[in-house]
Amino acid sequence: MSEALLSLRGVRKAYGAVEAVRGVDLDIGAGEVLALCGDNGAGKSSLVKVIAGAQAASSGTMTLRGREVAFHSPEDALRGGIATIYQDLALAPRMSIAENVFLGSELTRGPLGLPFPRLLDRRRMMTEALGYLQRLNPALTDMARPVEGLSGGQRQAVAIARALRWKAELVIMDEPTAALGVRETAQVLDLIRRLRGEGRAVLLVSHSMADVCAVATRVAIMKAGHKVIDRTVAGLDPDMLAHMIMTGQGTEVAPAG
């Protein structure tokens, strides 16, 4: 990884007195799947929100494609080519699947082929949303259904489809398989490999050691707001990884048992 797509230096995030992220350096390169692991409350989602522009960092710098950036809103990050699937999914429950997939990046057309005024192209959004979801959850066919009636896994598919929609260079996924069954998980892992194959970068937050070992190229481990480990995944198995997360050290520690 010679040229990092995104670099963080000394990033901190405090919520009042709670210091969630305490000075993290992190580099993510194109074609890389970086797994971000750590116990509950380690600061993973907080770090993700800073990168995604959802929350401002308390201090530290971010460099995107060699240029220092400051995201003041999620819109800035999206425009910068960073799309995020949030842990709580961030869907609009009463809006339809298609509306949620295209929220913030709707398709428009001029009436009767005119260039103006731009009106929503609901029909095309329905068909394209179906296209995005087909790979993730083929059972979802009615794009007009409101999201509030969907199961957890179906919602997750909608959230993932929305992030794909942005064709971002860096896709951040905060526990994307948390609500998924075996088959759906496999589909998401496939998707991550595909993104990597397209030369994009993926930042994957996950508690599943198996998922991390299956798709990640590198793993960073956080503990109490600090990054304690950052190494390649090559040569790691899920047990070793779990041990590293628990102890916060031990690349050279042999696997127990």
Partner 1 sequence: MTALLSRFGTALAGFLVLLFFGAFAENFASPGNLSLILKDTAFLAVLAIGFTLALATAELDLSIADVASLAAVVTGALIQGGTMPALAVLAGLATGLGAGLVNGFAVTVLGVPSLIATLGTAAVARGFGFMITQGVAFVGRWPREFTGLARGSLLGVSNMIWWMAAIGLLAWVLLKRTRTGLHMLATGEADEAARLAGIRTRRMKRLGLALAGLLAGVTAVLLAASLSSAAPNMAGDHFLYAIAAVLLGMTMIEPGRPNIPGTLLAAFMLKALGNGLVLLGAPYYAQDIALGVIITGSVALSSTVMRRAAFTKRLNLRAAA
Ligand X SMILES: Nc1ncnc2c1ncn2[C@@H]1O[C@H](COP(=O)(O)OP(=O)(O)OP(=O)(O)O)[C@@H](O)[C@H]1O
Q: Cβ atoms within 10 A of the Cβ of 89, count?
A: 20
Subset of residues 210 to 249 that bind partner 1, contact rule: CB under 8 A = none
If one asks whether residue 119 binds partner 1 (CB under 8 A), the answer comes out as: yes
Q: Which does 54 bind (CB under 5 to 8 A by kind): ligand X, partner 1, Mg ion, none?
A: partner 1
One-letter amino acid for residue 47 of the chain: L
For residue 193, CA distances in Å to 123, 134, 241 come to 30, 17, 20
Q: Which is nearer to Mg ion, 61 or 87 (CB)?
A: 87
Shortest Å, Cβ 41 to Mg ion: 8
Closest to 219 in 3D by CA, of 248, 190, 241: 241
Cα 248 from chain centroid? 23
Torsion angle, alpha carbons of 36, 81, 71, 37, to 10: 0
If one asks whether residue 45 binds Mg ion (CB under 5 A), the answer comes out as: yes
Q: Which is nearer to Mg ion, 42 or 130 (CB)?
A: 42
Closest to 1 in 3D by CA, of 19, 26, 18, 36: 26
Cβ proximity of 192 and 211 under 8 Å = no
If one asks whether residue 118 binds partner 1 (CB under 8 A), the answer comes out as: yes
If one asks whether residue 20 binds ligand X (CB under 6 A), the answer comes out as: yes
Per the structure block, which two tokens stand in for 15? Answer: 């919520």
Q: What angle do CA 190, 251, 247 make, to 5 degrees?
A: 95
Closest to 223 in 3D by CA, of 54, 81, 90, 36: 36
Stretch that binds ligand X, among 15-23, 25-33, 111-119, 127-135 (CB under 6 A): 15-23
Binder of Mg ion out of 58, 63, 87, 217 (CB under 5 A) = 87
Q: How many helices (H) and strands (E) does the chain have?
A: 8, 12
Q: Which does 123 bind (CB under 5 to 8 A by kind): ligand X, Mg ion, partner 1, none?
A: none
Binder of partner 1 out of 23, 29, 60, 146 (CB under 8 A) = 146
Binding mask 169-208 for partner 1 (x = CB under 8 A): ----------------------------------------
Three-state SS at 195: helix
Shortest Å, Cβ 84 to Mg ion: 12
Instruction: Report the DSSP pairing between strands 226-232 and 6-15.
Output: unpaired
Q: Which does 91 bind (CB under 5 to 8 A by kind): ligand X, partner 1, Mg ion, none?
A: partner 1
Residues in touch with partner 1 (CB under 8 A): 52, 54, 73-75, 78-79, 84, 86, 90-95, 99, 103-106, 108, 117-120, 145-146, 148-151, 162
Residues in touch with ligand X (CB under 6 A): 15, 18, 20, 38, 40-46, 87
Residues in touch with Mg ion (CB under 5 A): 44-45, 87
